[in-house]
Structures are given as C-alpha cells and as structure tokens.
Amino acid sequence: MARSLRLQFEGALYHVMFRGNERRAIFRDDPDRQRFLERLRETQTWRPVRLFLACLMPNHVHLLLETPQPHLSAFMGRLLTAYAGDFNRRHRRAGHLTQGRFKAQLVEGDTYLLKLSRYIHLNPVQGTKWAEVPLAERQHALREYRWSSYRSYIGLEPVWEGLECEPLLALVAGGRTRDARAVYQAYVEAGLAQNDEEFASLYRAARLSLGSSEHAQAVRERHEEARRRIKRQEDVAFRRTAGWRPPEDVLKVVAQVLRTTVDELRRRRRHSTLRSAATWALCRYAGLTQRAAADALGIGTGAAVSRQMRRWQAGLESDASVRRVAEEIARQLR
C-alpha cells in the first residue's frame, strides 16, 4: 500500500509521535534521553522549528511543534536517523530503532491545543499501573519526571533550550502572564482526578497554592475567561510565522549584540566565536543551508560552517555567556 501524502506547509502545527520498533524501548537510560534532547537541539539549528511540548517515554516520544517552513519530514528524518545511529553505536546493535513512519497530526484550534498539552504532559502517570496509585503520589511523580517539558512549564526547572512555553501559558491564562504557570499547573493536574472527590481536592489545593482568597478569585476568573476565549478565538499565539529574516538583517543583529560590525563577522580569524554566532543565526533565523551560510560569510565550504556550528553548540551547552548572547539574538530577531 502506498504511503499517504504528508501534508506540509508554512506555519503548520503538528502533534508528532513515534515509538520503538515492536514497541521496544528507545531509551534504556538517562544518557540515551539526554542524547536525544541534544540531537533535537542540533536539528533545530539545521531546520528551525518552534518546539512547544515534549515528553520522552521509555518506548515512545510526543512532540508539539510548528514548522516555519514546510520541512517536517526533513527535520524528523534527520533527527531520528541521527539518534538511531547514536543508540545503535552505544548499545552495539543494528537495524531499525523506530516503528514505521512517525505520526504527524495537524493541530487546529485552542480547545484541542490545551487538551493535547494536558494529554502529553500527563503521559508519565497514565496507564494501568497508575490506576490504583493515590492522587498525591501521582502528583509527585508527575512533577518529578525529568524527561517532560512539564517541569519547565510550571517553573520547577529552567526552560529547556529551544522550548517555547509562552504561547500555551498565555492561552490558558487568558493572555495574562502573571501566575500563568500556576494556572497551567492547576489545569493539567486537574486531569489526574479519577472521580469528583479527587477533582475537588485538586481544586482546593490549587487555590491554596496561589495565595489569598482575592488572588484565588482572580485565578478562577482567568479560567472562565480562558474557556470563553477557547470557543471564539483562533490559536493566534501559535501562528506567528513571518517567514525567514533577510540574511543581512540577521547579521546586523548579531553584530549589534556582539558589539562589532558585519565586516568583522566576515573576517577570518582562528577560533573566533563571531563567525560561529553568525553561522548559527543565519541557519536558524534566515533559513540558510550551511552552504548558503558559507557563501554569506565568505567561508570556504559548508563543512567549515558545520565546524562553526558545532563550536557554537558546544558553547551553548557549557558557557552561560554564550547562552545569553543566543537569547538576546533570538529576542531581537523574533
């Protein structure tokens, strides 16, 4: 049977899911999970996507992402191929790691987005083995699960690199950012309730965790407003795709943030971080291939750009000052 056509277009929002071949584990330990997240970030520099949610389970993965350009298949193909190679080498195995094609469900509408986000984030405490577990234990396990974006959403850890929480937080909190994380946490954890008594308990706990009675009333009003907005508003917080920025504009922003000039960015210097920042920004925000970025900067080959990208990626992972530069470039270009 022929494969169905994969619908791809600018600004498409997808719920992506893939699982291990024969439903076997695709993560055997935490180093596997960490390596997958590293590959995810690397692939975002090659084919930029907006990542809103992620949950890594032992034998499957959920992602919610938006493609500024119609390149979902290229993005996922590179990500899964790279990770499968890492996994096979590390565990001395061969053959397919994932089962068939990844699933990509187009997402439309605020109602589904919120329900989907709750479904994805509750994955670690769903299933038959959790059916009889007390509510408090399920809450604790959910908040402690390290391999989901939920902890980033509710403020228990810094936001993962490459993850955008603001659109969903704004959606559930009615567009207001104050206490949006607490509102989102209350919304998601209400999904843990298996009966009315548990739901009432969760609701009371959510109110108490937010502070005074006046503050709790404001939160309830935000929930009501969010429900009203869900019925009448498109998911505008997610549809901010404006295409790629012109390469010269990207270089001007990079030069400004680094307090230098565009000419300096193009000047060849041994071990210079300037060119590394410029190549990363051109690929991520101007949508250039590595070969095109090489041409824009006067670098000899695409392979040289690849080395610059690896240098920058290493800095992002180990150097707080590099991360601050990247965040400022991102802020200005978005």
Q: Which residue has the higher pLDDT, 36 or 195?
A: 36
Q: What percent of the chain has pLDDT over 70?
A: 78
- Helix ranges, 47-130 (H): 72-91, 110-122
The yes-or-no verdict on residue 101 having pLDDT over 90 is no
Q: Which of 103-112, 214-223, 252-261 has the lowest mean pLDDT?
A: 214-223
For residue 190, CA distances in Å to 19, 120, 199, 306 come to: 27, 14, 6, 46
In the chain, where the domains are located: 12-107, 118-232, 247-333
Confidence of residue 143 (pLDDT cuts 50, 70, 90): very high
Q: How far apart are CA 216 and CA 143, in angstroms?
A: 22
Q: Please give the radius of gyration of the chain, using alpha carbons only, rounded to the nearest integer.
A: 22
Q: Evaluate if residue 332 carries a pLDDT over 80.
A: yes
Please determine, for residue 53, whether its predicted confidence score (pLDDT) is greater than 50. Answer: yes
Confidence (pLDDT) at 62? 96
Distance CA 18, CA 72 (A): 14
3-state secondary structure of 20: strand
CA dist 302 → 74, 82, 254 (Å)? 18, 19, 20
* Stronger pLDDT, 14 or 239, i.e. the higher one: 14
Sign of CA dihedral 75, 78, 81, 82: negative
Mean pLDDT of the region 266-287: 79
Record: fold of 247-333 = Chromosomal Replication Initiator Protein Dnaa; Chain: A; (1.10.1750)
What percentage of the chain reaches a pLDDT higher than 90? 35
Q: What is the pLDDT of residue 164?
A: 92
Q: Which CATH superfamily is domain 12-107 in?
A: Transposase IS200-like (3.30.70.1290)
Q: What is the pLDDT of residues 173-229, one digit of tens each?
A: 665 556 789 989 998 998 887 655 554 555 455 443 333 444 345 445 554 554 454
Over 60: is that where the pLDDT of 63 sits? yes
DSSP string for residues in 107-148: --SHHHHHHHHHHHHHGGG-SGGGTTS-HHHHHHHHHH-TTB
Structure-token pair, residue 252: 């001007």
Least confident of 40-54, 65-79, 218-232, 294-308: 218-232
Highest-confidence segment of 45-59, 185-199, 260-274: 45-59
